[in-house]
Amino acid sequence: NFIKPKPPKPGCVEAHFAIVHYAGTVAYNLEEESMFPKATDKSFSEKLNANHLGKSPNFIKPKPPKPGCVEAHFAIVHYAGTVAYNLTGWLEKNKDPLNDTLVDLFKKGTNELTITIFCDHQGQSGGDASGGKGGRGKKAGGFSTVSGGYKDQLNNLMKTLHSTSPHFIRCIVPN
């Protein structure tokens, strides 16, 4: 007997792509709020609630925390269940750049993979491996964020996926 495989959930990758790329999304709001030096976790939380609470069925107010648990600022209804999120430190972590010394170490190392990965990385100082001036990977404001890097990586992944014609085979190994 052959088992008919379930088709992939329609639009899962596209939906995730939309979550990251389009105005009004949580990731977009995080990127936008990270550009303001005086932004706080509270202002970010207020912005998210103003933009999404009551407007999106997947963005809900979290349940009150259980004793000893941290309070959540919002919850998102995912396909597998509801996940509550605490925004404490998100803005600070989103601005978290790699240490220039670490980037230089990877660029000058002997491992070809790490050299390839970090060859275009600007670091905090903006210098590249050749010592020239670089502009790639930085925003017009002079900094790049973790969510911006994630968005770029997801964009590259989507380009790669759309340029291929994948075929999937389900293998069942009996015990």
Decide which of 3.40.50.80, 1.20.58.530, 3.40.309.10, 3.20.20.70 is the CATH code for 10-95.
1.20.58.530
Q: What are phi and psi of 29, to 5 degrees?
A: -65, -40
Domain boundaries along the sequence of the chain: 10-95, 98-127
**CB-based contacts of 94: which residues, under 8 Å, 6+ apart?**
30, 31, 34, 145, 146, 147
pTM, 2 dp: 0.56
**CB-based contacts of 174: which residues, under 8 Å, 6+ apart?**
none
Query: How many other CB atoms are found less than 10 A from the CB of residue 74?
Result: 19
Distance of CA 160 to the CA centre of its chain: 18
Sites in the chain below the pLDDT cut of 70: 1-24, 97, 122-143, 175
Q: What are phi and psi of 82, to 5 degrees?
A: -90, 135
Residue-wise pLDDT tens digits, 48-92: 888 888 888 888 888 888 888 888 888 888 878 888 889 998 888
